[in-house]
Amino acid sequence: METPNDLITLLPPDLIKFILVVLFSLLIGLEQRRQFLNSSIGSRFGTDRTFTLIGILGFILFKLDPHTLIPFLGGGLVLGLFLAVFYFNKSAQQKKFSITSIVVALITFCLAPLIYTQADWLVILIVVSVLILVEIKEALFDFSKKIDDNEFITLAKFLVIAGVILPLLPNTPFSDTITISPYKFWVAIVAVSGISYFSYLLQKFVFPKSGILLTGILGGLYSSTATTFILAKKSKESDRDFKITAAIILATTMMFIRIFILAYLFNKSIALQLAPTLSILAIISASIALYFIWADSNQLNKLSQQSEINSLSNPLEFKTSLVFGILFIVFAFLTGFINTQYGTSGIQILSFAVGVTDIDPFIINIFQSKWSINEGILATAVINAVTSNNLLKMIYAMSLSKKSINKPILFSFSILIITGLVVSFLF
SS3 readout for 388-399: HHHHHHHHHHHH
Evaluate whether 366 touches 378 at the Cβ level (below 8 Å).
yes
Residues contacting residue 381 through CB under 8 Å, at least 6 positions apart: 347, 348, 350, 351, 366
Cα–Cα distance, 229 to 222 (Å, whole number):
13
**Same domain, yes or no, for 14 and 83?**
yes
**Same domain, yes or no, for 135 and 158?**
no
**Same domain, yes or no, for 308 and 406?**
yes
Residues contacting residue 255 through CB under 8 Å, at least 6 positions apart: 220, 224, 386, 389
Cα–Cα distance, 90 to 46 (Å, whole number):
13
**Same domain, yes or no, for 333 and 415?**
yes
Question: End of a domain among 93, 116, 142?
Answer: 142
Per-residue pLDDT, 159: 83
Evaluate whether 58 touches 72 at the Cβ level (below 8 Å).
yes
Per-residue pLDDT, 278: 86
Residues contacting residue 315 through CB under 8 Å, at least 6 positions apart: 193, 196, 197, 199, 200, 222
Helices (H), 300-359: 318-353
DSSP helix/strand/coil, 226: helix
> Would you give the distance in Å from CA 329 to the centre of its chain?
26
Cα–Cα distance, 194 to 359 (Å, whole number):
17
**Same domain, yes or no, for 220 and 136?**
no
DSSP helix/strand/coil, 419: helix
Closest to 245 (Cα-Cα) out of 181, 290, 187, 300: 290
Count Cβ neighbours within 10 Å for each residue of 258-276 and write b for 16 or more, e otherwise: bbbebbebbbeebbebbee
**Same domain, yes or no, for 353 and 273?**
yes
Per-residue pLDDT, 154: 77
100 residue type, one letter: T
Query: Nearest 5°: CA angle at 115, between 21 and 123?
Result: 95
Going from the C-alpha of 49 to that of each of 28, 29, 43, 58, 207, the distances in angstroms are: 10, 7, 15, 14, 42
**Same domain, yes or no, for 31 and 12?**
yes
**Domain limits at 23?**
4-142
Evaluate whether 267 touches 274 at the Cβ level (below 8 Å).
no
How many beta carbons lie within 10 A of that of residue 50, not counting itself? 18
Per-residue pLDDT, 261: 85
**Same domain, yes or no, for 159 and 280?**
yes
**Same domain, yes or no, for 202 and 69?**
no
Evaluate whether 258 touches 223 at the Cβ level (below 8 Å).
no
Per-residue pLDDT, 350: 61
Evaluate whether 115 touches 21 at the Cβ level (below 8 Å).
yes
Query: Nearest 5°: CA angle at 136, between 40 and 31?
Result: 65
Per-residue pLDDT, 245: 85
Cα–Cα distance, 405 to 153 (Å, whole number):
40
Q: What is the mean pLDDT of each run of 10 residues along the chain (427 residues)?
A: 57 86 89 68 67 91 89 90 81 70 88 90 89 77 68 79 84 66 73 65 66 73 72 70 83 87 80 84 90 75 47 52 60 61 58 59 64 66 80 78 81 87 75
158 residue type, one letter: F
Question: End of a domain among 142, 175, 196?
Answer: 142
362 residue type, one letter: F
Cα–Cα distance, 313 to 128 (Å, whole number):
36
Per-residue pLDDT, 178: 59
Per-residue pLDDT, 283: 92
**Same domain, yes or no, for 168 and 135?**
no
Cα–Cα distance, 68 to 64 (Å, whole number):
10
Q: What is residue 356's DSSP assignment?
A: G
- Provide the number of structural domains found in the chain: 2
Question: End of a domain among 142, 170, 194?
Answer: 142
**Same domain, yes or no, for 59 and 96?**
yes
Q: What is residue 150's DSSP assignment?
A: T
Per-residue pLDDT, 306: 44
**Same domain, yes or no, for 244 and 111?**
no
What is the pTM for the complete model shown? 0.53
